């Protein structure tokens, strides 16, 4: 693809994603508010520029990879000091936001983009920094069909599995639903292992049964919270992430806000959100989210 791309937000995820586009021959202009992120991106071959406006003024696709919805809105609309990306980009630019944000924020951002004469897609990812570096991210895309078709070649460079989930906001919806399953299932698996310990059942025996039975799930067979049965899981390296507790807490908070907005009678999702908020407020923020088993174990000793 010879689409001209502006990439804003060159952090843990955005940096390697932009680098993969450059490596595939896509012309990319990059910008980040943090100088260190710019330096790292420059070292990876991204052509960095000194302002958001310089990045987008000739862009066909503007990719953003920011921490939260607040950053997306602010970057799109700007402030008194500087115009936003929507005003600085040429008419008809496609705005592709890959950040994980509230469904309603994503839909608001898309409306703002369309109102300014542009096109919009949300495409949050899973796969973490490892997937961003390897170009194997999973993208969940919310966009009109023609916008999806336009950005697909870029997503195929940065990702492995790409699913068009529906209109604007549906990428975020899919991501939030998936991660609510993940948060709840990790707690269930962790509670089961601690119960097994108390009952005198070995980790291996429980794993050998549950991994081949109806308890089977990703939290058990890929990200197993005890060392041993799955040698590559974070539990084997003192819970180095992986998927950090702070990010799980963030995603579950987004799920809770969607549950509240829709009035779904959910019990497990909000409870998982509360437990991960507590985990992330302690030393769990930077540990893999499967480290919550240690909290459950510690609380079981009282
Ligand atoms: P990060 O904090 O490393 O990167 C975000 C970058 O955006 C930072 O470098 C920040 O300086 C920059 N930024 C903020 N406002 C800006 C602006 N107005 N203009 C230019 N740059 C700006 O975060 P990350 O780990 O790369 O995550 C980005 C998003 O991806 C988040 O929404 C996160 O939830 C999601 N995500 C992260 C992971 C992961 O494993 N890190 C996995 C899946 C999804």
pLDDT tens across the length of the chain (302 residues): 789 999 999 999 999 999 999 999 999 999 999 999 999 999 999 999 999 999 999 999 999 999 999 999 999 999 888 889 999 999 999 999 999 999 999 999 999 999 999 999 999 999 988 899 999 999 999 999 999 999 999 999 999 999 999 999 999 999 999 999 999 999 999 999 999 999 999 999 999 999 999 999 999 999 999 999 999 999 999 999 989 999 999 999 999 999 999 999 999 999 999 999 999 999 999 999 999 999 999 999 97
Residues with CB under 6 A from ligand 1: 8-14, 31-34, 37, 52, 65-67, 71, 75, 99-100, 125-126, 128-129, 247, 250
Position 31 scores a pLDDT of: 98
Position 107 scores a pLDDT of: 98
All domains of the chain in start order, with CATH: 5-167 (3.40.50.720), 173-300 (1.10.1040.10)
Contact predicate 224/232, CB 8 Å: no
Contact predicate 159/94, CB 8 Å: no
List the residue whose alpha carbon is closest to atom 25 of ligand 1: 12
Ligand 1 pocket: which of 6, 7, 8, 13 to mutate (most atoms <8 Å of CB)?
13
What value of ipTM does the predicted structure carry?
0.99
Q: Ligand 1 center to residue 71 CA distance, Å?
A: 9
Using CA atoms, how far apart are residues 149 and 257, in angstroms rounded to an integer?
Answer: 30
Residue with tokens 């890929």: 222
145 is catalytic: no
Position 82 scores a pLDDT of: 85
CA nearest neighbour of 27 among 3, 44, 7, 51? 3
List CB contacts of 20: < 8 A, sequence separation 6 or more: 132, 133, 135, 157, 158
Position 8 scores a pLDDT of: 98
CA nearest neighbour of 46 among 90, 89, 16, 2? 16
Q: Ligand 1 center to residue 95 CA distance, Å?
A: 16
Position 80 scores a pLDDT of: 87
């Amino acid at each position: 693809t010879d689409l001209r791309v502006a990439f804003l937000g060159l952090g843990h995820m955005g940096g390697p994603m932009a680098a993969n586009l450059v490596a595939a021959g896509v012309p990319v202009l990059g910008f980040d508010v943090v100088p260190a992120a710019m330096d790292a991106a420059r070292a990876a071959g991204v052509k960095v520029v000194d302002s958001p406006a310089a990045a987008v003024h000739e862009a066909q696709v503007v990719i953003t990879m920011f921490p939260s919805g607040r950053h997306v809105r602010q970057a799109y609309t700007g402030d008194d000091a500087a115009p936003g990306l929507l005003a600085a980009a040429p008419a008809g630019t496609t705005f592709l936001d890959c950040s994980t944000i509230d469904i309603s924020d994503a839909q608001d951002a898309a409306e703002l983009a369309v109102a300014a004469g542009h096109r919009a897609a949300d495409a949050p990812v899973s796969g973490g920094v490892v997937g961003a570096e390897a170009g194997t991210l999973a993208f969940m895309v919310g966009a009109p069909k023609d916008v999806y078709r336009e950005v697909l070649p870029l997503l195929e460079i940065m990702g492995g599995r790409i699913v068009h989930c529906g209109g604007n906001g549906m990428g975020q919806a899919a991501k939030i639903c998936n991660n609510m399953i993940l948060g709840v299932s990790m707690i269930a698996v962790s509670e089961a292992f601690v119960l097994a310990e108390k009952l005198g059942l070995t980790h291996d025996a429980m794993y050998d049964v549950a991994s081949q039975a109806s308890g089977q799930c990703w939290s058990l067979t890929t990200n197993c919270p005890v060392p041993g049965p799955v040698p590559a899981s974070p539990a084997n390296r003192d819970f180095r992430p992986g998927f950090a507790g702070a990010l799980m807490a963030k995603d579950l908070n987004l799920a809770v806000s969607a549950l509240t907005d829709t009035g779904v009678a959910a019990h497990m999702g909000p409870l998982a959100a509360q437990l991960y908020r507590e985990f992330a407020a302690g030393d769990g923020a930077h540990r893999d989210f499967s480290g919550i088993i240690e909290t459950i174990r510690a609380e079981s000793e009282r």
